[in-house]
Structure 1
Amino acid sequence: MNSLLANVLDAHGGLDRWNQFSRVTATIIGGGGLWPLKGLEATTTPREMTATMLEQTASASPFGKPEWHSVFEPGRVAIETNEGTVINERLNPRKSFLGHTFDTPWDPLHLAYFNGYAMWTYLNTPFMLASSGFEVTEIEPWKEGDEHWRVLRARFPREIESHCIEQDFYFGEDYLLRRHDYQVDVAGGFRAAQYVSEIVQANGISFPSKRRAYMRGNDLKPIRDLLLVSIDLSDFRLE
């Protein structure tokens, strides 16, 4: 295993501890400028977000109506009632984004897909990087103010749905996550720098409780006036 990744995993609670669990749930509140741009109504209603670890599935509740929730899994996204009745679903959902640009409107299933794969990625970081199929290398460090952050570049396996194939993860001197860079292929490939902060612990595992994603310039610096997505997370539970 990459030596930096080994230190990162230990700093976040350790791979052995992580492997004791099969899913993680958190309460999330989202915001930012991306949602109105996509024709979606911004909501401050807290949601319960659950992501599994051994496979790539995720669910948000409520979704659309108080008695509905979203279902994300490879090759399928759906909105269902809490009793399991399918309200709407889409197979091969990634294909529904073909031709989309930064400001192409999304329907609820587009949102459910984006929300599902994105939150699965965030809640499984950094431990997913040790999974089979991920190619991880250390690249040039990054200077952020007075700090120097070490950077892992991860190439995702094709079977994992995420923002893009290649993503960068930045870590401080304590080996905790500070920033996550990617391009959003389902929205025209715009580049984002997501800053994370206010680390909390649940069952000995460390999670950022605040995430702020900004448009990223050609110089790799965030454009602070363009806050695309904000996510506040609380009440992490591992099962």
Structure 2
Amino acid sequence: MSTLLEQAIHAHGGIDNWDRFRTVSAELDIGGAVWHLKGQPDLFQGIELAAALRRQHVAITSTAGGWRGTFEPDVVGIGAMNGAAREERRTPRDAYQGHTQPTRWDRLHALYFTGYALWTYLAIPFLYARPGFRTEELPDWHESGETWRRLKVTFPETIASHSREQVSYFGEDGLLRRHDYTVDVMGGARGANYASGYRNVRGVMVPMSRRVFAYDDTMQKIDEPLLVSIDFRSIDFHTE
């Protein structure tokens, strides 16, 4: 494990504390320009989440929308809360073949993307210490009057996420500031994901707010439009 990753894990609460937990639950709102572009505005406003932390399994419930969905890497499904017919898609990543950034999505496209994205975000940086992940420290980055250390992370093929290679930026306090990736299921669209509003939740430092923008060829953030917003209203970790 790299020194930077060790420091980041310690700053976020430590691996021993993290390993106590098996699941996470949350209430949150997701918005931004991407959802209008994809034809699914407000789909993830006012949702509840329940996720496993040792495997990729996420359940999302929208009381207002009257639906409940589940994500796993090999299958996503969504149905009405009253038990009415459920839509399901196996090998869901195959359904994005030929997609570009403006390609419209159905609800299962949106659910797969959101499921793997939230699972990834909630597990960083502890996720990077798992078997199969490779890390490499990059030169420092200067932004917002701060110096951020950067860690390039190569994901194993067994983990569904935006792309195989991603970069996390950590402040002098060791907390995640920014997370860069390209989005394979959007034809390689770029995302610079800014984490802020940290809260101590059972000893884990969690960013309650995330804002995602595009970035240019020099890795500089493009301020408009705001692509994705994520605001957690509550979050809790559980040992069972």
- Range of TM-score over shorter length: over 0.9
In 1, the alpha carbon distance for the partners of 2:98 and 2:43 equals 27
**In 1, distance between residues paired with 2:35 and 2:237?**
29
> C-alpha deviations, 1:16-43, integer Å up to 9, x for none?
0000011111111111100110111225
Deviation of 1:80 after TM superposition, in Å, equals: 3.5
In the aligned structure 1, how far is the partner of 2:71 from the partner of 2:171?
32
Question: Is the Cα–Cα contact under 8 Å of residues 78 and 86 in structure 1 kept in the other structure?
Answer: no
1:1-239 matched pairs, under 5 angstroms: 1-42=1-42, 45-62=45-62, 65-66=65-66, 68-82=67-81, 87-239=86-238
The superposition leaves residues 132-189 of structure 1 with CA deviations (integer Å, 9 ceiling, x where unpaired) of: 1100111111000321000111000001000000000000000000000000110111
Cα displacement string for residues 51-109 of structure 1 (whole angstroms, at most 9, x for unaligned residues): 2111111111117832x211011210001445766510000000000000110000000
TM-score, structure 2 normalization = 0.95
Q: Percent identity?
A: 42
5+ long unaligned stretches in structure 2: none
Q: CA deviation at 1:120?
A: 0.5
Aligned residues: 238
Mark the runs of 5 or more structure 1 residues left unpaired by the alignment. none
Contact 2:190 2:215 in 1 (8 A): yes
> What CA distance in whole angstroms lies between the structure 2 residues aligned with 1:201 and 1:34?
30
Relative to structure 1, the CA distance from residue 86 to residue 204 in structure 2 (aligned partners, 3 Å threshold; closer, same or farther) is farther
Q: What is the deviation of 1:235?
A: 1.4
Confirm or deny: 8 A CA contact 1:143 1:149 kept in the other structure.
yes
Displacement of 1:115: 0.7
For 1:112 and 1:44, locate their aligned partners in 2 and report how far apart those are by CA, in whole Å: 9
Q: Which runs of 4+ in 1 moved over 4 A?
A: 81-86
